[in-house]
């Protein structure tokens, strides 16, 4: 795994492969948290619109060009970045590079296509409303993060999406879609072709934005008609992905609710049979993070589940032993290696590593960070479970 910064300040990370499949992904350092005075949902709107026509590829031509190379062309938007990826045979690599370059640097935002895509996104928003788990997280985060830029839903709202204009898209795209604000991740055998193709793009200046982070203590219940289950989320403070304690939180997440043998899974599902869907997860940002607990169950089981979780929290605050710590470390390290056993995962690892840490972090370094965590480190951080910062219940009406 290597990296190079081109003259126009585009960062390229690359890895050679014996396979006949090439993977290319562009990570743009812009997401929902960067929307500022723009309408909420515009980052995601643009992710859709770059597929709707470019300078040299009108919409139908672009669609045909994508179909012609087969493989997979995907994109997604997060609160902090947007990703576009192409996977295809190496024989179609030049066309894939050209398509990706056109999309991220030369989208045209045709007015007719924009109106069509607006309706598609409005339907996507309705789909989220029908996904009770995602709906619960969106409602919770709008309250939990209300004093930071992370509170807005990625898709936007029906009202905000309806206000997005062609000029809004052009202004946002022009402001954020340029080489210095991007990372190109590549797995293939012709990296100099990548260098040559993207070196042609003009350099533009960019102002780096640092986002504040804070959690608002809140304990709320909301109701929705037609629910079959209650959806419950708890929040505890975590740390930034750059914090020295981040590996500690990864270990705690794994033993608490991030694995099939975790405490949450064993107690609530295997021993009591109260839940099918439950887990813990960590969201980490530039300046902070949150450890989530989520479960879905019949509304009559909510109190019993919360009582068991309280018992788990109390047990954790009393500390764990060396045996459980070592078991959890080995689980994380094994999964780390297994998750990087194919080229697509290597592509994603390189891109996100550069995106978050400004360098490629190799597996040996991550393994060393995990192994360096002491029992005292873990038991000190486990005190976050002494108090639940925030909770949210989405209940049947």
The residues spanned by each domain of the chain are 2-199, 218-396
Q: Please report the pLDDT score of residue 176 as a whole number.
A: 94
pLDDT of residue 12: 94
Is residue 356 within 8 A of residue 81, CB to CB? The reply is no
pLDDT at residue 139, rounded to an integer: 92
**Beta strand ranges found along the chain (DSSP E):** 2-5, 11-15, 21-28, 72-77, 82-89, 182-187, 218-224, 230-238, 278-284, 289-297, 390-396
Q: Exposed/middle/buried for 29, CB within 10 Å: 0-12, 13-18, 19+?
A: middle
Check if the beta carbon of residue 105 is closer than 8 Å to that of residue 173.
no
Non-local (6+) Cβ contacts of 150 within 8 A are 32, 33, 79, 141, 211, 213, 285
Please name the fold of domain 2-199. Cytochrome Bc1 Complex; Chain A, domain 1 (3.30.830)
Let me know if domain 218-396 sits in CATH 3.50.50.100. Answer: no
pLDDT tens digit at each of 397 positions of the chain: 888 999 899 999 999 888 899 999 999 999 999 998 999 999 999 999 999 989 888 878 887 888 888 878 899 999 999 999 999 998 999 999 998 999 999 999 999 999 999 999 999 999 988 899 999 999 999 999 998 999 999 999 999 999 999 999 999 999 999 999 999 999 988 888 889 899 888 888 766 777 888 899 999 999 988 889 999 999 999 999 999 999 999 999 999 998 888 999 999 999 999 999 999 999 999 899 999 999 999 999 999 999 999 999 999 999 999 999 999 999 999 998 988 888 889 999 999 999 999 899 888 999 999 999 999 999 999 999 999 999 999 999 8
Common-topology check for domains 2-199 and 218-396: yes
pLDDT number for residue 289: 95
Token pair, residue 197, equals: 């193709």
């Amino acid at each position: 795994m290597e990296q190079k910064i081109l003259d126009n300040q585009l960062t390229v990370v690359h890895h050679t492969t014996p396979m006949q499949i090439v993977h290319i992904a562009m990570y743009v350092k812009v997401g929902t948290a960067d929307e500022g005075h723009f309408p909420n949902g515009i980052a995601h709107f643009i992710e859709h619109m770059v597929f709707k026509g470019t300078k040299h590829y009108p919409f139908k031509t672009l669609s045909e060009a994508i179909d012609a190379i087969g493989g997979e062309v995907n994109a997604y938007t997060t609160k902090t970045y947007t990703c576009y990826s192409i996977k295809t045979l190496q024989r179609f690599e030049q066309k894939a590079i050209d398509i990706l370059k056109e999309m991220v640097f030369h989208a045209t935002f045709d007015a007719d296509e924009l109106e069509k895509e607006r309706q598609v996104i409005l339907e996507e928003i309705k789909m989220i409303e029908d996904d009770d788990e995602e709906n619960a997280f969106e409602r919770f985060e709008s309250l939990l993060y209300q004093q930071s830029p992370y509170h807005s839903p990625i898709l936007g709202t029906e009202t905000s999406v309806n206000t997005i204009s062609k000029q809004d898209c052009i202004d946002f795209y022009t402001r954020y879609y340029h080489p210095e604000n991007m990372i190109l991740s590549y797995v293939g055998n012709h990296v100099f072709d990548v260098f040559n193709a993207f070196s042609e793009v003009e350099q533009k200046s960019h102002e780096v934005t640092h986002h504040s982070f804070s959690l608002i203590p809140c304990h709320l219940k909301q109701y929705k008609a037609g629910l079959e289950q209650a959806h419950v989320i708890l929040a505890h403070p975590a740390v930034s992905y750059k914090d020295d304690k981040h590996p500690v939180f990864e270990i705690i997440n794994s033993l608490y609710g991030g694995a099939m043998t975790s405490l949450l899974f064993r107690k609530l599902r295997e021993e009591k049979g109260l839940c099918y869907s439950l887990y813990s997860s960590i969201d980490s940002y530039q300046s902070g993070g949150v450890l989530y607990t989520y479960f879905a169950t019949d509304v009559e089981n909510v109190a019993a589940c919360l009582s068991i979780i309280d018992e788990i929290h109390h047990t954790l605050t009393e500390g764990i032993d060396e045996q459980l710590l070592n078991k959890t470390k080995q689980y994380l390290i094994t999964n780390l290696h297994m998750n990087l056993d194919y080229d697509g995962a290597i592509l994603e690892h390189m891109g996100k590593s550069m995106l978050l840490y400004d360098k490629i972090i190799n597996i040996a370094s991550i393994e060393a960070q995990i192994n360096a965590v002491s029992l005292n480190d873990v038991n000190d951080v486990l005190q976050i479970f002494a108090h639940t910062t925030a909770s949210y219940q989405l209940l049947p009406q």
